[in-house]
Amino acid sequence: MKSAIYYQTKKVTLNLLIHLFLVSVAATCLYPLLWMVASSFKTQETIFSDISLIPRQFHFENYYLAVSQSDFGRYFLNSVFYTASVAFGIVVISSMAAYAFSRLRFPGRNIIFAVFMAAMMIPIPGSFVALFVLLNKLHLRNTPLGYILCMISVGLSMSIFLLKTFFDTMPRELEDAARIDGCSKLGIWRHVALPFAKPALAVVVVFNALNVWNEYVLALVIFDNKNLMPLQRALMLFRGEFLTNYPLLMAGLTITALPIIIMYLLMQKYIVKGVASRAVFG
Amino acid sequence: MRIKSTLENYVFVLPAVSIFTIFYIIPFIWVLQLSMFSWDGILPTKIFVGLENFKEIILQDPSWWESMWNAGYITLIALTLQNTVAFLLAWACDREIKMKNFYRVIFFIPPVLSEIVVGMAWRFIINDVDGANIINRMLVSIGLPQLAHNWLSDPKTALTTVALVHSWKGFGWGFLIFLAGLQTIPRELYEAARVDGAGSWRIFKNITLPLMIPVFVLVAILTVLGTMQAFVLILGLVGGEFAGHTSVPVLRILAVMRDSSRFGYACAQGISFGVILVAISFIQYRLSKRYRQA
Amino acid sequence: MRKLFAFCLISLIIPAFFISACAVKPKSSKPTITIWHWMTDRQPAFEALAKKYEEQTGIKVNFELYAPSDAYSQKVRAAAQGKTLPDIYGLLGEKRDFASFIKSDHVADLTPFLEENNGKWRKEFFAKALAVNEFKEDNTYGVKAGFYGVPIDVMTIEMLYNKKLFKKAGLDPNNPPATWGEFLHAIQRLREVGIQGLVSGWGEIWMIDCLASNYAFNIMGEKKVLATIKGEVPYTDPDWIKVFDLFLQMRDKKVLVTGVITMVNKTAEQLFSNEKCAFAFNGSWCVNVYKGMNPVLDYGAMLPPQVSDKNPMMVWGGAASSFLVNNRSASKEQAVAFLKWLTSPEQQIYLAEATNNLPANQNALKGIPVVLAQFAEAMEYTTHPNIWGVSEFPAVIEKLDKGLQAIIIGENTPEQLAQDVQKIKAREMAKAKK
């Protein structure tokens, strides 16, 4: 029989090791972020010569310059609009499709699903040109709608795949109960499937939001109108052809990273909430 | 009645399928068609060459296979190191420990940072001449000067270093998905097992692992797909293909499109790449099915 | 979930108002010229000039910037496919691509305008700068002879050296090494006091190609280099092996900075600005870059040190950026008129002062900073692949450049490289014959 002290020490050491592990990984995650933020307060000359994480002088004006020099506000709003639209669109469209692939029967179901999966794996080089010509023909080229539809298309395969995997684990009793209560298929989707897959939905939102937020080349190729450009364009303005304004670039990058971190903070609650609501279903 | 029901079912997939057909299938067919032509991307005339491009890729393009091999190496490190760390972290955070939320946010910072920043930051940390050489300084200070090395500038170690940085950037995703998966395991199962007197390891082996298998498969497939297609980070860390040592398929395709103006050939490379990825994923899926049944 | 819905809806509605409001703006009735380019640091100067032009002539000029250059190229090529190119645009890429654009009817022939009044406009430019935009009679690209674009600035690619570091190593800052032997000697002196040697953005293979080409011209002369491209001389010729051997020497004598082939040009520029090394191989655009990164940098320009004195050392130079006119543009005449104005001495001087780039107009050379003037002196010795009239096969160029990178990291030898390159050359020539 092992004594209580043995278990106690084992528990304490285990916890200690776990914490050490977590802290060291966290440190490596934080360092580049801190470097980016610290650099945003430095000047062009000191950014590479001064290697400490705490700048000798804090140049707060870099942030002001970054925002004012580049019509930042408009690009920021554009990015928020595109990201929110795509996230919303994908959640609705891909969850409906994933639910159908997982729970509904119709001829060709497996083939269509397989095509979606295959699409995840086949990158199209030069797709920018193809999409450009396509959107041109549809008269959607220089429009927000065209861009949003393209970005939805890009994220569909992954999102459907993720959601279907989660729907597959959904207990049938839930659906049966709802059906007995007189719920239509759409109702089941809305009241049973969606809440069940909240953690997966949160992942889908984060994934697609990040994609759209960081996307640049497609926007550049499709949009002629400066007013429609997303945030990344402002950042590119600091990376001149020959001269990169590093401090302003770092300030811009920090501002760019913030909304995504905030959005993630909001979303990750749903991953936890998903557990709480499941406890109700048992 | 049956037909009505089936039609209703189609409505669910209609938006996805229509958008997908217009914005993916059509460009895909265009690229597939182009892969059989020799075209520079500009001229209105294209020359049909049939399967010549593919023949050249298979038989006469060692740089292409070098890039595939490199991508495979990076992916292997991702599958093993990155996902193991991600899982351990998710498991650690799933338990009742302090600062859980704090860690959850911190671990997701690498994926959030743009690849430009990640490339610049790590290059700065690792490199000597154009950086702060922090890693080597740390090694010296803990008494291991013989390990100090030009990690990114030495062709022998460059690829591994790139793979490690890539894993650093990517583990946040695995962490997130693993955590989501772990969270859907009902706590009552754990309670019941503990009441039955099972130790932590038994619980892990008999409850956690089996229930997590679909998630493992998911993450494995996503890791392979994502890592094989990576390239932006490599540009930031080593400036490009480093004489082939850090060449990856997407960089190769871009180089062919841009430097040699061989659009048709690049399309053929893209198609070959896709075929290989489909094959790998298919094998992964089949293997996982067999394991699940066992 | 409800909160998420609300958040999405709000973030959709508010910007939607903004965006739809902007879409209702009435179209300007003034004549407008749209210009696409990638030169981020010149956008302010361009916009100032556009305003000036509008005041003078009433014609609105829109300079649209799309950066970085890779993304810009994609955009131009996509627009070409969709036939939505603007009135004026710049083109990045090789002569082959330029020819393809012309053959696809995207570029207007500017020869009549340049030759007007006995070639008045043409004669204002440095001949070598204009030559980049010229296709000669019987060229190998199948394009009708003529001028298809105008340069707005010129550049040369040379070596630079840090005067302060020179003094530290006991070298004369006013007498940079002129021969290869002197160069190696200087490197040794620098190493003795712990200073690194030459940096360049050799992660970008065209920069290695540039230096190799320079030395090829020096060692065997222009005629033989062009003959090699035409296929009349093999790459296994001893002169070529001598060229490749220089890179081996650079490796053995530790001339190069560590990790030079992992560096893009920007990184190399940053290193030289931070005085981490004594030499750099870069183009005249660097004057603006260095000024921004380290205004007190004390440096000078020099030609790459000669290996042979039988043939002159030639550097790459000529037009840095050029503008083309879209042949399908509705405002062709106005576009050409604007280009004439942009390349006139007054505007060129303004651009040179504002952006520290060499003007393309020969009459605008006054008032440029000293170091830039040193670059301008090298204009006599310039050449450029786009004016040779023949292009090497891309596969050969890639093999050669990658092979040189391999030599630098010790994974190849000059003789082996020569054979490899010749093999690819033979294969490409056979393919072309079919």
Q: Write down the pLDDT at residue C307.
A: 93
Whether B130 sits inside 8 A of C259 (CB atoms) is yes
Whether the per-residue pLDDT at C24 is higher than 70: the answer is no
Residues A230-257 have a mean pLDDT of 72
Whether B106 sits inside 8 A of A35 (CB atoms) is no
Q: Contacts of residue B239 in chain C, CB cutoff 8 Å?
A: 201, 203-204, 261-264, 267
Residues C112-121 have a mean pLDDT of 91
Q: Write down the pLDDT at residue C343.
A: 92
Query: What confidence category does residue C18 fall into, taking pLDDT thresholds of 50, 70 and 90?
Result: very low
Q: For the packed helices B263-293 and B26-34, what is the interaxial angle rounded to 10 degrees? A: 120
B149: which 2 tokens?
């090395």
- What is the rounded distance in angstroms from the CA atom of residue C148 to the CA atom of residue C212? 29
Whether the per-residue pLDDT at A273 is higher than 60: the answer is no
Whether the per-residue pLDDT at C325 is higher than 90: the answer is yes
Nearest CA-CA partner of C343 in C103, C133, C172 = C133
Whether the per-residue pLDDT at C172 is higher than 60: the answer is yes
pLDDT digits (tens, 9 = 90+) for B68-89: 999 999 999 999 999 999 998 8
| Cis preceding-peptide flag for B62 (omega within 30 of 0) | no
A210: which 2 tokens?
């990040």
C196: which 2 tokens?
């690194």
- What is the rounded distance in angstroms from the CA atom of residue B93 to the CA atom of residue A18? 10
Check if the beta carbon of residue C42 is closer than 8 Å to that of residue C351: yes
Check if the beta carbon of residue A36 is closer than 8 Å to that of residue A254: yes
Whether A33 sits inside 8 A of B109 (CB atoms) is yes
Q: How many residues does chain C have?
A: 434
Side-chain-side CA neighbours of B227 within 13 Å: the count stands at 34
Whether A36 sits inside 8 A of B19 (CB atoms) is no
Name the range with the highest mean pLDDT among B128-137, B259-268, C364-373. Answer: B259-268
Query: What confidence category does residue B163 fall into, taking pLDDT thresholds of 50, 70 and 90?
Result: very high
Check if the beta carbon of residue C67 is closer than 8 Å to that of residue A241: yes
CA of C60, closest CA in chain A: separation in Å? 16
For tokens 């590479």, name the residue: A48
- What is the rounded distance in angstroms from the CA atom of residue C187 to the CA atom of residue C196? 8
Q: Write down the pLDDT at residue B76.
A: 94
Residues B268, B274, B280, B286, Cα dihedral to 10°: -130
A155: which 2 tokens?
């994220």
Q: Write down the pLDDT at residue B85.
A: 92
Between residues C370 and C130, the one the model is more confident about: C130
CA of C53, closest CA in chain B: separation in Å? 33
**CA A137 to chain CA centroid, nearest Å:** 30
Q: Which residue does chain B place closest to C268, by CA atoms?
A: B130
Q: Contacts of residue C94 in chain B, CB cutoff 8 Å?
A: 261
Q: Write down the pLDDT at residue C7.
A: 54
B166: which 2 tokens?
């890539």
**What's the one-letter identity of residue B172?**
G
Whether A243 sits inside 8 A of C19 (CB atoms) is no
C151: which 2 tokens?
């340069």
pLDDT digits (tens, 9 = 90+) for B237-258: 888 888 888 999 988 888 888 7
Q: Write down the pLDDT at residue C103.
A: 93
Q: Write down the pLDDT at residue C281.
A: 95
pLDDT digits (tens, 9 = 90+) for C68-108: 788 888 889 889 988 899 999 999 888 889 999 999 999 99
Chain A residues 132-151 with CB within 8 Å of chain C: 132-133, 136, 141, 144
SS3 content of chain C, % helix, strand, coil (to 5): 55, 15, 30
CB atoms within 10 A of CB C354: 16
* Minimum mean pLDDT range among A25-34, B166-175, C12-21, C424-433: C12-21
- What is the rounded distance in angstroms from the CA atom of residue C347 to the CA atom of residue B219? 59
Helix ranges (H only) for A69-215 are 72-103, 109-121, 127-137, 144-168, 172-180, 185-188, 194-196, 198-214
pLDDT digits (tens, 9 = 90+) for C268-280: 988 898 888 999 9
Q: What is the 3-state secondary structure (H, E, C) of C127-169?
A: HHHHHCCEECCCCCCCCCCEECCEEEEEEEEEEEEEHHHHHHC
Q: Write down the pLDDT at residue C21.
A: 39
The 3-state DSSP class for residue C203 equals coil
Residues B124-146 have a mean pLDDT of 78
CA of A134, closest CA in chain B: separation in Å? 8
Q: Write down the pLDDT at residue B184.
A: 75
Nearest CA-CA partner of C215 in C261, C277, C147, C281 = C281
Encode burial over C256-269: b for 16+ CB neighbours within 10 A, e otherwise. bbbbbbbbbbbbbb
* Minimum mean pLDDT range among C14-28, C31-45, C141-155, C250-264: C14-28
Q: Does A80 touch chain C (CB under 8 A)?
A: yes
pTM for this entry: 0.84
Q: Write down the pLDDT at residue A232.
A: 81
B167: which 2 tokens?
């894993």
Q: Write down the pLDDT at residue C362.
A: 85
- What is the rounded distance in angstroms from the CA atom of residue C49 to the CA atom of residue C28? 20
Q: Which residue does chain C place closest to A82, by CA atoms?
A: C12
pLDDT digits (tens, 9 = 90+) for A57-113: 788 888 887 777 767 788 889 999 999 999 999 999 999 999 999 888 888 888 999
CA of B55, closest CA in chain C: separation in Å? 14
Whether A220 sits inside 8 A of C68 (CB atoms) is no
Q: Write down the pLDDT at residue C298.
A: 92
What's the mean per-residue pLDDT of chain C? 87
Q: Write down the pLDDT at residue A47.
A: 64
Q: Which residue does chain B place closest to A201, by CA atoms?
A: B180
Q: At residue C317, what are phi and psi to the nearest 5 degrees?
A: -170, 180
Between residues C366 and B97, the one the model is more confident about: C366
Whether C69 sits inside 8 A of A241 (CB atoms) is yes
Whether the per-residue pLDDT at B293 is higher than 90: the answer is no
Between residues C222 and A282, the one the model is more confident about: C222
Nearest CA-CA partner of A18 in C269, C428, B85, B203 = B85
Residues B50-64 have a mean pLDDT of 90
Best of A45, A131, A241, A246 to mutate (most C CBs within 10 Å, chain C): A241
pLDDT digits (tens, 9 = 90+) for C232-280: 999 999 999 999 999 999 999 999 998 898 888 888 988 898 888 999 9
The 3-state DSSP class for residue C60 equals strand
Whether C71 sits inside 8 A of A243 (CB atoms) is no
What's the mean per-residue pLDDT of chain B? 85
Chain B residues interacting with chain C (CB cutoff of 8 angstroms): 40-44, 127-130, 150, 152-153, 155, 158, 237-244, 255, 258-262
Task: Please give the domain boundaries of chain B with CATH numbers for all domains.
Answer: 60-293 (1.10.3720.10)
Residues 6+ away with beta carbon under 8 Å from A81: A144, C11, C12, C15, C16, C19
CB atoms within 10 A of CB C284: 26
Pairing of strands C299-302, C150-162: antiparallel
- What is the rounded distance in angstroms from the CA atom of residue A271 to the CA atom of residue B245? 40
Residues 6+ away with beta carbon under 8 Å from C118: none
What's the mean per-residue pLDDT of chain A? 81
Residues C305-309 have a mean pLDDT of 92
Whether the per-residue pLDDT at A45 is higher than 90: the answer is no
Q: Contacts of residue C258 in chain B, CB cutoff 8 Å?
A: 128-129, 150, 153
- What is the rounded distance in angstroms from the CA atom of residue A158 to the CA atom of residue C315? 51
- Count of pairs with CB atoms under 8 A, one residue in A, one in B: 227
Residues 6+ away with beta carbon under 8 Å from C227: C233
